[in-house]
Structure 1
């Protein structure tokens, strides 16, 4: 295994979940016990990665294991749960956890591809060993992702309450209460306070606020790592998603169906045959509606498709209409509303329903309702849909001539994206792991760096006024793997 892949694994930056691109087959979790022959090699690898860098005498040893495996092509994905025993340790310079927490419950995901192992996920926390047989290990105490014991922490701030903002004051008081660590850095506390004010955050309890603070600090460390490894000009940091765990963010805002189901088969689009102009932007040509917000709903697929259809209708009929995503959430029975969907299915649903209503007539609610589509109110129809080339030069030429394109990407790093051109390392943003549908509206160059201009659906208070800029020409984040368009005659 390449040393830099091991480095990425140790940094915890490789994606937390993976699925094979073609009908993976997964077994159920085996019973707890010593690792079976099938799980032995990936379990040993995960343990080695956990212990890497630990001094002799502080390394954990393996307890009980259970796991399952998915296979596709020449790859296997192992999902493992294991108990690890840490030896007693009283030296805070080498101990990662206090001496009282010696037994850990860990979740690992290990990819075995062509005989090489890559650690995709490592998540460990203290476990209650009194559970009989460890049939269902339970975390004890704080949530397992809480980690305010990291090297980034140095001293607790003593902020002054600001009576002008109740949310601000409540968080300030929490920052000064036990059992918050007494070495929280002044800078991090200040950043968190600004985040709470900017995004008007309120939390249900003091415990929730403490937990969100720990998640926030964790996310800032992660954003710094992503920043250090990005090869573009993107800047990562505080966003409106900074108090969400990675799992919460994926569950609420992303779309796992994009990598799990094939969807309806579409015919291949005919090549436009022209060379792509040096740059193009449909926003300046009136073919793109304002940035929308999908809210706490995994409906990106619907926004990607309506954005494409809006552009196709404008180019072929001369009118730009903001179309209804809610109609697709309610009436597209092939997809799963806020649980995700596929553009190819959505095109078929639009065609079978008889068109799309406008946003004004069928407004967005961000959750599934009973279908209330009215054919009489439909303002836009489509005749068909097509799959586009994976060649980015041909995609650019097609976009410049035919309009904005629905695409799907791996959303790695987007939780913390602020501005600039993103170009993550390929193992971090694998095209195997696409999980978010968006809209290509243009392309160009900034300081000689080629980019795609991408309309997102997380509101204008994210990214560059709602837009994301991704490196063009390198297949970054799988941007070229699921490009499609409606056909309007």
Structure 2
């Protein structure tokens, strides 16, 4: 009897040790599978790290973001999804430091009536992309030039609406030459409009191509290209702040520059759907509202970003519209502005 008990105890111990020894193997296998996913992600996003140590560090961040994304997949009623986009190897702190650098502060603004204040009829939906007033998604790269991309996209839009010509304009001219802003360290869309107005126009992207996103930051202004105007504007204005209905009237008429709080983890890892995530109103990024619509009873804004097609829904995000907070989701209704022509 004692022998039988001893034998049973030994068997149980061996079984326990066997299960214990297999647990790390299962974890390691899961990590191996995720490592393969990471390697493919690196290839897809042309990511190369300077050392094995840095690669391991980035893999750990990637793993953490992957686990967070997985944890959100079964949240009831969620209208958007997250994904392993181009920012999946960055912590949220790193993401904010590199890509949410917009300078939001109280500053003098010229007094001008809101151009679309008396617009009484607006369409229930509009998408300026399908109407030919939006250039392809661009990439600001590792440079805080979102303000220039937002302003340029707005000018591209109003120029197409007024002339029928969609011309890709130069963000680099603004980054290099607009001394009222700070190049890769931030700026304001309305200041960019004023600079173009005072300068007499802005040149094309082809004539003055963007290079700041690849490490060549805050270069000298190329004076030989100043004066080679492709597009001019007649002025600029502001949408009535804290009013999504006013913003709707404006976007019904032309693409509008808006500023948002883009610093949240869900915004960083956004993939598709109508974004309803938690965010504040500390404006740190400039984008472009190019339309609006409704899906399954939820109203949304169509927003063009400047983080390449490797982020979001091929570079775009749908943001919930008509929320109870008058600032709009992520503060998008706080300080919209637009060029005139």
Fold shared by both chains (TM-score > 0.5): yes
State the partner residue of 1:191.
Answer: 37
State the partner residue of 2:292.
Answer: 443
Q: 5+ residue gaps in structure 1? A: 1-152, 158-183
Please report the RMSD computed on the Cα atoms of aligned residues, expressed in angstroms: 2.2
Q: How does 1:111-130 map to 2 (within 5 A)?
A: none
Change over 3 Å in CA distance of 1:321–1:200 after alignment to 2? closer
Q: How does 1:290-305 map to 2 (within 5 A)?
A: 290-305=136-151
Task: Quote the Cα distance in structure 2 between the aligned partners of 1:204 and 1:231.
Answer: 42
TM-score (norm 1): 0.58
- Secondary structure of the 2:309 match is coil
Q: How does 1:210-289 map to 2 (within 5 A)?
A: 210-224=56-70, 232-258=78-104, 260-262=105-107, 264-265=109-110, 267-270=112-115, 271-289=117-135
Q: How far 1:247 moved relative to its partner? A: 2.5
Task: Quote the Cα distance in structure 1 between the aligned partners of 2:90 and 2:295.
Answer: 31
Task: Quote the Cα distance in structure 2 between the aligned partners of 1:471 and 1:376.
Answer: 41
Q: How far 1:266 moved relative to its partner? A: 5.1
Query: Is the Cα–Cα contact under 8 Å of residues 351 and 382 in structure 1 kept in the other structure?
Result: yes
Task: Quote the Cα distance in structure 1 between the aligned partners of 2:56 and 2:64.
Answer: 13
Which structure has the higher relative contact order (CA within 8 Å, separation 6+)? Answer: 2
Q: How does 1:13-412 map to 2 (within 5 A)?
A: 155-157=27-29, 185-224=31-70, 232-258=78-104, 260-262=105-107, 264-265=109-110, 267-270=112-115, 271-366=117-212, 367-373=217-223, 374-389=225-240, 390-400=242-252, 402-411=253-262, 412=264
Task: Quote the Cα distance in structure 2 between the aligned partners of 1:300 and 1:330.
Answer: 14
Q: How far 1:186 moved relative to its partner? A: 4.7
Aligned length: 304
Task: Quote the Cα distance in structure 2 between the aligned partners of 1:343 and 1:242.
Answer: 28
- Greater share of strand: 1
TM-score (norm 2): 0.82
Task: Quote the Cα distance in structure 1 between the aligned partners of 2:183 and 2:106.
Answer: 15
Query: Is the Cα–Cα contact under 8 Å of residues 147 and 189 in structure 2 kept in the other structure?
Result: yes
- Secondary structure of the 2:156 match is helix
**For residues 449-474 of structure 1, what are the alpha-carbon distances to aligned partners after superposition, in whole Å with 9 as ceiling and x for unaligned?**
21111111111222212111111111
**For residues 421-453 of structure 1, what are the alpha-carbon distances to aligned partners after superposition, in whole Å with 9 as ceiling and x for unaligned?**
10013xxx012x121111111111122221111
Q: How far 1:195 moved relative to its partner? A: 1.7
Change over 3 Å in CA distance of 1:226–1:257 after alignment to 2? farther
- Greater share of helix: 2
Query: Is the Cα–Cα contact under 8 Å of residues 272 and 398 in structure 1 kept in the other structure?
Result: no
Q: How does 1:409-428 map to 2 (within 5 A)?
A: 409-411=260-262, 412=264, 413-425=266-278
Task: Quote the Cα distance in structure 2 between the aligned partners of 1:298 and 1:273.
Answer: 35
Q: 5+ residue gaps in structure 2? A: 1-24
State the partner residue of 1:476.
Answer: 329
